[in-house]
Structure 1
Amino acid sequence: MAELDGSKTLSALLKGIAQCNYFNNPDISEEMLQRELYPQLPPHEFRSLLEKMRGVLKSIVSADMDLNQLEAFLTAQTKKQGGITADQATVIAKFWKNHKTDIRDSLITQSRWEHSLKTINWRVDLKARSRHMDHGNTPVAIAEIELGKNEQASEFLCLEFDETKINHILKKLSEVEESITALTHAS
């Protein structure tokens, strides 16, 4: 029964570390984690456990480990002097399997500095001739773009391109594609 309680407590500690380090939850502090989860441990022992678990989690998160990498890493950690126990490795593996996607998504969201493309819709319209315009019946491409950042309100752009502008954009995109191809084949 004590082992089960230890697993639950360690799992809660890992969740607390994730909330603090990866989800920027200001309500989680080192003192709160010790008070709620490990009140019987002296502060220096708790700090040592906390730093060990932070280090292990940081290694796992920064490598974005898949299950095979995780298993190899945790096995190595159990064999290392001053490493983790097999029971701790089991809890860490379960934690990572359950929280990998959320942690990864949070880090991606936090790493965006600028707006990102949310949606793009496009269509081709035909401008009709009128008495105020000499030319008519010319196709135009219309792109409606939604840009946004995290949970902020989106911005919408509506762009109109004639055939000349579309050809120019396509040429530039081809140049970008060629540059990327050259870079990826050079390395």
Structure 2
Amino acid sequence: MDVSVLIHRLTERLFYGSSISDEEMKDQVCPDASQDDFQGYVKRFSTILSNISAANMDFKQLDAFLTSQMKKRENPITEEQAQALMKVWKNQKAKVHEALVRQSTWDNQLKAFSWRIDVKSKARHVVDLNMPTAIVEMQIGRNEGSEVVRFEMNEERLGDMINQINAIEEQIADYTK
């Protein structure tokens, strides 16, 4: 059995949305194994990969985790399997983390933010002349799709917005203490 290929295929299926079936994996990895044995491998390595990714383990944590998996009394993993898991995680850790973040984001995100200050040189009312306004542009979207939102703010509205953002920052700081 080629453990590295099995772990790589499971990683693709668990985190990147690959639709490879168990039968296809079995044919690629260990066609001679019984279906029950193969299902046991799939379940075991899927669970291990899920635990590793959920904890976003660094390599020191992963080494300790895999060592504990090798020392289990019932159904321990082999040194070869631990090395294969270590190799796949070393190559895929950042991509898996990105995929999990994408999967857990269910709403739009701020993708880009830009602004500029304009001063009106023509206006219907003299009071509006030479009044600086902030023009804000935000790109909001999810994954590949996005939309652009543009709006203007005068000094008073900008102050209100800054106060609201400061209140948000304080709330976040209170939760992270």
TM interval, short-chain normalised: over 0.9
Aligned to 1:107: 100
**1:48 correspondence with 2:40:** yes
Aligned pair partner of 2:65 in 46, 61, 73: 73
Aligned pair partner of 1:22 in 12, 15, 18: 15
Question: Shift of residue 175 of structure 1?
Answer: 1.8
Alignment RMSD, CA only? 1.3
Aligned positions of 1:1-187 closer than 5 A? 6=1, 9-26=2-19, 28-81=20-73, 82-130=75-123, 132-135=124-127, 136-152=129-145, 154-185=146-177
Percent identity, aligned pairs only?
A: 32
Q: Deviations over 1:112-167 (max 9, x none)?
A: 1112111111111111244x223210010011111121122x20111100001001
In 1, distance between residues paired with 2:99 and 2:176? 29
Question: Shift of residue 181 of structure 1?
Answer: 2.8
Question: Shift of residue 111 of structure 1?
Answer: 1.5
TM-score of the two chains, using structure 2 as the length reference: 0.93
Amino acid at match of 1:16: R
What is the total number of aligned residue pairs between the two structures? 175
- Structure 1 gap segments, 5+ residues each: 1-5
In 1, distance between residues paired with 2:32 and 2:49? 24
- Structure 2 gap segments, 5+ residues each: none
TM-score of the two chains, using structure 1 as the length reference: 0.89
